[in-house]
Chain A
Amino acid sequence: MWFEQVLFFIVAAGALAGALGVVMLRNPFYSVLALVVHLVALAVLFLLLQAAFLAAAQVVVYAGAVMVLYIFVVAYIGGQDEQLRPDDSLITSFGPLFAAAIAVELCFALIGSGLEALDTRGADVGPGFGSPGEIGSLLLRRLLVPFEAASYLLLVAAVGAVVLAGRRRGLEEEPPAPPREPAPTETLEIRA
């Protein structure tokens, strides 16, 4: 019991630190790495909530695949430090204030919601709660329509990414390339 609480507070501190790191670090590359820390901490929290399958999906899909995509793009466009806005700009002072207002409002909403089960550990669930088998049978029986809709969404996103990546110069047409002289040898350029 106490082990669970200690683990929760350590992992929650890690998740908050990762989130703050994403927002505060100026180099996008470090922001991505901070988000990886945050996602792994969240996976542990999912395990504490008995969502074993989602914890595994979080680590494999999010912290693995999606973050690799981010790192590729940061490496491609060259992650320079972002320029700061001038200090007197309205948005720099207004942003944290706005976020703090939402946080206070959400906490009030949670405490004032009157849900009695909030102060308990949750309903009694069996040992198979959140296991891949149960989630899978739910996805393929009762929630088949959202599952199929999600798969179509992924397909549309993949086609959209190919279209975006295949267009070379934005909206205007590229002039036809002049015929190249046959180059005897192609050398591989290595940029430092």
Chain B
Amino acid sequence: MDVIWFLVLSAFIFCIGAAGVIIRRDPLVILLCLELMLNGGNLALISFSRMHGGQEGQVFALIVMVIAACEVVIGLGIIVAMYRNRLRIDVDEMTELRG
């Protein structure tokens, strides 16, 4: 398979994730869509690592996985804290941090 196919696929995955982040209202689903965007980036990194024949891109993708795990842990912690404080779990209603 040519590398370009993988790269086009990764671009599509990234864009679907970006659309989800914009459209959806549930912060949980927004986190899922962020995962989609990170995975699109991962696929591109690994494709380029295959194209150049170097393994550093794969290590980079591994670090991106670590960062995604951290983001999930903190994001889900915030969502659970919101739920405990009886706040509505909806990004349109979350205005406490607005400047």
Q: Which residues of A come within 8 Å of B, CB atoms? A: 4-5, 8, 12, 15-16, 19-20, 22-23, 28, 31-32, 35, 38-39, 42, 45-46, 48-51, 53-54, 57-58, 61-62, 65-66, 69-70, 73-74, 76-77, 79, 82-83, 85, 91-92, 94-96, 98-100, 102-103, 106-107, 110-111, 115, 117-125, 129-130, 134-135, 138-139, 142-143, 146-147, 150, 153-154, 156-158, 160-161, 164-165, 167-170
Contacts and interface: CB of A to CB of B under 8 A. Distances in A.
Given A118-B3, A125-B53, A138-B55, A106 B15 contact: yes
Interface of B: 1-9, 11-20, 22-26, 28-29, 31-33, 35-36, 39, 42-43, 46-47, 49-53, 55-56, 58-59, 61-63, 65-70, 72-74, 76-81, 83-85, 89-90, 92
Given A58-B65, A99-B18, A118-B2, A70 B46 contact: no
A119 B81 contact: no
B76 A117 contact: no
Given A118-B3, A161-B77, A38 B65 contact: no
Contacts of A35: 32, 35-36
A188 to B, nearest CB: 21
Contacts of B22: 91, 94-95, 98-99
A20 B58 contact: no
A70 B31 CA distance: 10
Contact of A23 (B16, B55, B59, B85): B16
Given A15-B9, A38-B39, A130 B2 contact: no
B66 A153 contact: yes
A48 B61 CA distance: 16
Contacts of B20: 22-23
A13 to B, nearest CB: 10
B25 A82 contact: yes
Contacts of A119: 2-4
B73 A139 contact: no
27 contacts: A22-B29, A23-B16, A23-B23, A42-B39, A49-B46, A51-B58, A51-B61, A54-B62, A69-B72, A69-B73, A70-B76, A74-B28, A76-B83, A95-B22, A98-B19, A100-B15, A102-B15, A103-B12, A118-B4, A121-B1, A125-B50, A129-B55, A130-B58, A135-B59, A143-B56, A157-B74, A164-B78
A105 B83 CA distance: 39
Given A22-B36, A77-B80, A157-B74, A134 B24 contact: no
A80 to B, nearest CB: 9
Nearest to B26: A82
Given A38-B36, A85-B92, 5 more contacts: A99-B22, A118-B2, A122-B53, A125-B53, A153-B67
